[in-house]
């Protein structure tokens, strides 16, 4: 299956700063990938669908100006949390689907906003 990496694995930042999270597919190219958010003791919630070369599609309730997604190539997508606040603290995970639609997930990024 596809191998997906994320960087950084953990980040602590001050309120008001912006944080960029990278998601790379190491052995597979995909025009579409997904960003999820997971709060403690909860399931994964889809935030947005990232499309290579075009604008991302955001789920209802997710602010596109706050969570900036850039899918610059078939193997790299970035999520930038702008002007982060404590309520944005969460576990952010990306995924790539392979040719048959099986999803492969990155190891996640744990964001803590002080």
Q: Among the candidate windows 13-21, 67-75, 79-87, 105-113, which touches another protein by CB under 8 A?
A: 105-113
Note whether 48 and 67 are within 8 A (CB). Answer: yes
Residue 29: C-alpha distances to residues 4, 24, 36, 37 (Å): 11, 10, 19, 23
Report how many residues bind another protein under the rule CB under 8 A.
Answer: 24
Which is nearer to another protein, 1 or 16 (by Cβ)?
1
Looking from the CA of 12 toward its CB, the CA atoms found within 13 Å total 1
Q: Contact with another protein (CB under 8 A): which of 75, 77, 78, 95?
A: 95
Q: Among the candidate windows 15-23, 32-40, 61-69, 77-85, which touches another protein by CB under 8 A?
A: 32-40
């Amino acid at each position: 299956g596809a191998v997906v990496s994320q960087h950084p694995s953990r980040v602590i930042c001050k309120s008001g700063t912006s944080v960029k999270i990278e998601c790379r597919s190491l052995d597979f190219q995909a025009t579409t990938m997904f960003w999820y958010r997971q709060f403690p003791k909860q399931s994964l919630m889809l935030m947005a669908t990232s499309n290579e070369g075009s604008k991302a599609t955001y789920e209802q309730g997710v602010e596109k100006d706050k969570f900036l997604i850039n899918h610059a190539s078939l193997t790299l997508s970035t999520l930038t949390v702008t002007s982060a606040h404590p309520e944005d603290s969460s576990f952010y995970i990306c995924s790539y689907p392979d040719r048959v639609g099986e999803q492969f997930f990155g190891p996640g990024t744990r964001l803590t906003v002080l």
